[in-house]
Structure 1
């Protein structure tokens, strides 16, 4: 299994140039790789064993019976989950044929699709990043011009600073559309998290949205009274019915108990995903609210520059925010995260001076 993680590690390319926020990176970098890893694990037989093993009569070959039950699904009886194991039922959710009402059966049909669904979810989490990377088109990298390295010759630094200053001054108030597209990608990431929660709830027949809450409640109940929600959603033992023709041409019915060892892995995966997506959704909601505040409040934009780039004077920040638009502020903020702090301070001071900032104690950059 270590080999799998080492290979998937190559998918996480941590760049020293940041063109997005840390919460946004949780979506496309961390969550996408986590889902892809889970997909590989559940589809690799050597790590989880046979996905299904059925106990049945010797009249039917093992491979045939197992394959039939895997393809056509198995079932449990929900009311049998609360019956006493060992006295009333052999296993949770499994009851004798005499008490087996076909209308009460809850068919377990999802397990064939878990690996594919996890892979599809991984792709969905990467789509906002793919959109932003295409829309951003290397702007931050081009404007940096290796100014993230503080130790450069004065001649080279002066030339690159001038190019950056000329671009920022000549294109002032022209970056709103660029910034709004990034904000749209963050909103899309939030919608993706919410949509995936409902997608998995549909996938598990309405049992996923409250899955984490039920697991927490289950841990707090008394041993005698509690019904494990993980056994309900991910049963370990199910039943399967196989029909075939007998030697006289009559239809014969064969019942079997089927062990689903893969569900031991599935339940751990989805309880983790429930809490992880909940956390990711909360963080993404806060980010969207934060972006709305930034859009409507120039004062907040100035305050964020104060606390993030303390080397820049307050009056310089005030001038920059007053003379620019929200998109310019976003570009300044992204450049400040990537360019050397001293060089960035000098660039911002010089830009403010070009925009008309004057002060007795203002030092030329």
Structure 2
């Protein structure tokens, strides 16, 4: 395979996906952007290496003159008039019938691809300013997944990642009175910067795909919002370009020639073979954009709902800590309060989002082990003099998860004497 030096590396680095996103993000900035660049390359090859246009010229024109006419008509705009209609005599009428998009198709497709990638670039660049480097977190999580089960290396990597997240989330630090904006709290140890930035990026993906629809319609000169559906219906009903005027193959071109001080005006009939490719590409793009717009919008509202509602974040945290604390009847209330405090006081929206990324990209076992270690550290920080049983004191049962067993004495339960007992309820 022949590649251009340095171009391959730039292309791979540009379209390389990051580990802290979801499938819908990659649908936008990886798959859709790659498709747009691929179509731009295909059209460019036809325009600059093939024969995008061929014109019928008067018989007295020499071969060199014919080539000049084709180059001129391709650079300048041609105009479309149906065969059932007469060619207008007025220049203004011909100007209104001009089609001038085909020369710019590769450039516009490439610019649209860049627009799809911009939200991801902003996300990868700006998330570090919140003090939590997701790249580091995901790299450490991958090391945990690659380490042998129940090995010392695995335990060290779990402790390393847990300590890093605890430091980034200001674990165990005294917090000032938080500032609340809607459902998010801002303050030391209550970080919501990464979460709000991620929701903003999700909103940019939605805004981008809607903007893409507008650009597509304006570029093709169509004022009809559902252009793709109408074009598909026309093709299904056998209404070709001769009737609809969408991506016409045969157009007209005016050009002038100066001879002996006199200006001679000619009108040539040209075949735009490039439009056969453009029609298929843009028809596919329209329906692809529709699919991306629907799933991106649904994903945006789902993410906003998930990160905004405390109950959903608590549900995920309880799922990660399901095997960490024995959920016995006599300790059920204390367990729920401990997990709730851990979810909101330690993890916060940023911590929950980070663990969610780890779960989706590395696996549930890793995120449960990391969450269990952080939960044990949280309990220990509240009552450092208390004792607890961790994974290092429990024989390996094959689950590869840390457990914190609840003592039977009410005042030692979860080492949190202020937690209510069953009798309190």
Q: What is the TM-score with the length of structure 1 in the denominator?
A: 0.80
Structure 1 Cα separation of the partners of residues 361 and 244 of structure 2: 49
Deviation at 1:242, TM superposition (A): 1.7
Q: Secondary structure at the match of 1:355?
A: helix
Residue by residue over 1:27-81, the C-alpha shift from the partner in whole angstroms, topping out at 9 and shown as x without a partner, is 111011111111111111389831111001134411110111111211013xx3x
Go from structure 1 to structure 2 and tell me whether the alpha carbon gap of 1:325 and 1:96 turns closer, same or farther (over 3 Å shift): same
Look up the match of 2:354: 331
Query: Is 1:279 aligned with 2:291?
Result: yes
Q: Which range moved further: 205-214 or 108-117?
A: 205-214
Look up the match of 2:374: 351
Q: Which range moved further: 207-216 or 306-315?
A: 306-315
Go from structure 1 to structure 2 and tell me whether the alpha carbon gap of 1:49 and 1:339 turns closer, same or farther (over 3 Å shift): closer
Query: Is 1:114 aligned with 2:125?
Result: no
Look up the match of 1:193: 209
Q: Secondary structure at the match of 1:329?
A: helix
Structure 2 Cα separation of the partners of residues 29 and 260 of structure 1: 32
Look up the match of 1:125: 116
Look up the match of 2:200: 184
| Higher RCO, Cα 8 Å, sep 6+ | 1
Structure 2 Cα separation of the partners of residues 181 and 202 of structure 1: 31
Which residue among 27, 50, 64 is the counterpart of 2:68?
Answer: 64
Go from structure 1 to structure 2 and tell me whether the alpha carbon gap of 1:220 and 1:115 turns closer, same or farther (over 3 Å shift): closer
Deviation at 1:121, TM superposition (A): 1.1
Deviation at 1:23, TM superposition (A): 0.4
Matches within 5 A, 1:144-155: 144=141, 146-151=143-148, 154-155=151-152
Query: Is 1:321 aligned with 2:343?
Result: yes
**Which structure has the bigger radius of gyration?**
2
Look up the match of 1:29: 30
Deviation at 1:343, TM superposition (A): 3.8
Go from structure 1 to structure 2 and tell me whether the alpha carbon gap of 1:238 and 1:340 turns closer, same or farther (over 3 Å shift): closer
Query: Is 1:237 aligned with 2:234?
Result: no
Structure 2 Cα separation of the partners of residues 355 and 329 of structure 1: 15
Q: Secondary structure at the match of 1:129?
A: helix
Which residue among 295, 309, 318 is the counterpart of 1:297?
Answer: 309
Deviation at 1:227, TM superposition (A): 5.8
Does the aligned pair in 1 maintain the 2:19–2:361 contact within 8 Å? Answer: yes
Q: Which range moved further: 60-69 or 161-170?
A: 161-170
Does the aligned pair in 2 maintain the 1:17–1:338 contact within 8 Å? Answer: no
Look up the match of 2:403: 363
Does the aligned pair in 2 maintain the 1:150–1:340 contact within 8 Å? Answer: no
Structure 1 Cα separation of the partners of residues 321 and 219 of structure 2: 47
Go from structure 1 to structure 2 and tell me whether the alpha carbon gap of 1:183 and 1:215 turns closer, same or farther (over 3 Å shift): same
Look up the match of 2:421: none
Does the aligned pair in 1 maintain the 2:247–2:278 contact within 8 Å? Answer: yes
Structure 1 Cα separation of the partners of residues 160 and 195 of structure 2: 21
Unaligned runs of 5+ in 1: 81-88
Q: Secondary structure at the match of 1:325?
A: helix
Structure 2 Cα separation of the partners of residues 23 and 229 of structure 1: 39
Deviation at 1:237, TM superposition (A): 0.3
Matches within 5 A, 1:83-232: 89=83, 95-97=85-87, 102-105=91-94, 106-136=97-127, 137=133, 138-144=135-141, 146-151=143-148, 154-170=151-167, 171=169, 172=171, 173-207=189-223, 209-219=225-235, 221=237, 223=238, 226=239, 228=241, 232=245
Task: Output the aligned Cα RMSD.
Answer: 3.6
Structure 2 Cα separation of the partners of residues 147 and 321 of structure 1: 22
Does the aligned pair in 2 maintain the 1:243–1:252 contact within 8 Å? Answer: yes
Query: Is 1:45 aligned with 2:50?
Result: no
Look up the match of 1:84: none
Structure 2 Cα separation of the partners of residues 309 and 254 of structure 1: 80
Structure 1 Cα separation of the partners of residues 308 and 377 of structure 2: 26
Go from structure 1 to structure 2 and tell me whether the alpha carbon gap of 1:341 and 1:230 turns closer, same or farther (over 3 Å shift): farther
Structure 2 Cα separation of the partners of residues 100 and 308 of structure 1: 75
Q: What is the TM-score with the length of structure 2 in the denominator?
A: 0.70
Unaligned runs of 5+ in 2: 128-132, 172-188, 328-335, 381-386, 390-401, 406-425
Go from structure 1 to structure 2 and tell me whether the alpha carbon gap of 1:307 and 1:47 turns closer, same or farther (over 3 Å shift): farther
Go from structure 1 to structure 2 and tell me whether the alpha carbon gap of 1:252 and 1:340 turns closer, same or farther (over 3 Å shift): closer
How many pairs align?
343
Residue by residue over 1:178-228, the C-alpha shift from the partner in whole angstroms, topping out at 9 and shown as x without a partner, is 22222222211221111121112221223463211212332554x5xx465
